[in-house]
Amino acid sequence: VPAPPPGPLDFNGTKLVDDPEHPWMPLQPGDVRGPCPGLNTLASHGVSYLPRNGVATPVQMIQAVQEGFNMENFLARFTTYSAMLLDGNLVTDLLSIGAKTSLTGRDPPLPALAGGMHNHGTFEGDASLTRGDAFFGDNHSFNETLFEQFKDFSNRFGNGFYNLTVAAELRFHRIQQGIATNPQFSIAGFRHLTAYAEVTFPANLFVDGRREGCMKGQLDMLSAERFFRDMRFPPGFFRPAKPTATEGIDAVLAAHPVQPGANDGTSVDSFTVDESLGSLLDYCGFYTQFVNTTIRGLYPNPTGVLRKNLDMNLQFFFDSLSPGSNCTQVFPYGQP
């Protein structure tokens, strides 16, 4: 039975998180890493954040992102339970931060994937800042060319730092790149939300919590390289000074608004708006379709333990929706 999610941190200020209890270690054979630089870093600093093999329970993941990065509790739960429902093994309560692996245990019946976070089109999606689109063959490894672009934009729009201004420009540019080069490009539904959320994280969560004044929210390129490439805290890193989420996301979207949508699958520059799975602009529409269409598509007919754990994870997910969003709960399998 999945344990209920942890609440907020007791001590929620800044502190040294690159400490002797959490030594960074290089990858060992069999360790799994993936498209999320935050989770990769926590796994590489070891088991009192995340197991080094890259496979964890939702409870471990929520604890880790709160403890290591001071990620705010609602966002930590929302992100974790959406990932668990899309990519995890609901029977064993385990989720891989990267490739599909037998470490998450025996698979539930198809079409459930339990594919881990490498799986394209569930959580992982197009237009990532430092990872390529799945169409080009690798959606999860650190991409040197894309990181050069990340630095170039940080130079041009942030005086050498990544900040929310850079986030707005690079987010828009990566979408335009995808539309122009990837016939299968998509930022519909959940990906519309995550694509905008993720570009705020480097400015909000990767910047040392002791930075004040004009250096707040300014990520230097050496620290960026440590997180994105080396999966490692900068030396002596302090987590953010207070619980932090996607602050600034509205301004990032407003700078260059793009609606949810996709290319047609066969030709580039064929982007069409598709609001059928909701978006950042239609949060409750997103929630309803996520549950009724996406999750139901993966689990059309759950029974036994699977059904029970699915209901519990759907409840945890509903409980994690943005406070104040007032979405109506939906029960795709009937009230548990």
Chain positions 188 to 207 lying near ligand HEM, rule: CB under 6 A, are 194, 198, 201-202, 205-206
CA atoms within 13 A on the CB side of 27: 12
Q: How far apart (Å, rounded) are the C-alpha atoms in residues 264 and 262?
A: 6
| CB nearer ligand HEM, residue 60 or residue 289 | 60
Taking CB within 5 to 8 Å according to partner kind, which of Mg ion, ligand HEM, none is near residue 81?
none
Taking CB within 5 to 8 Å according to partner kind, which of ligand HEM, Mg ion, none is near residue 129?
ligand HEM
Per residue, the 3-state secondary structure of 164-212, as one string, reads HHHHHHHHHHHHHHHHHHCCCCEECCHHHHHHHHHHHHHHHHCCCCCCC
Q: How far apart (Å, rounded) are the C-alpha atoms in residues 195 and 176?
A: 13
Site string for ligand HEM, 31-60 (x = CB under 6 A): ----xxxxx---------------------
Q: What is the C-alpha radius of gyration for the chain, rounded to an integer number of angstroms? A: 19
Give the binding range for Mg ion (CB under 5 A) out of 49-57, 118-126, 183-191, 276-284.
118-126
Taking CB within 5 to 8 Å according to partner kind, which of Mg ion, ligand HEM, none is near residue 83?
ligand HEM
- Establish whether the linkage from the previous residue to 111 is cis, with ω within 30° of 0: yes
Count the residues of the shown chain that bind Mg ion, applying the rule CB under 5 A: 3
Query: Is residue 128 a contact point for Mg ion (CB under 5 A)?
Result: yes
| CB nearer Mg ion, residue 67 or residue 124 | 124
Q: How far apart (Å, rounded) are the C-alpha atoms in residues 118 and 264?
A: 23
CB neighbour burial string for 278-292, b if at least 16 within 10 angstroms, e if fewer: bbbebbebbbbbbbe
| CB nearer ligand HEM, residue 91 or residue 170 | 170
Query: Is residue 263 a contact point for Mg ion (CB under 5 A)?
Result: no
Site string for ligand HEM, 100-129 (x = CB under 6 A): -----------------x-----xxx--xx
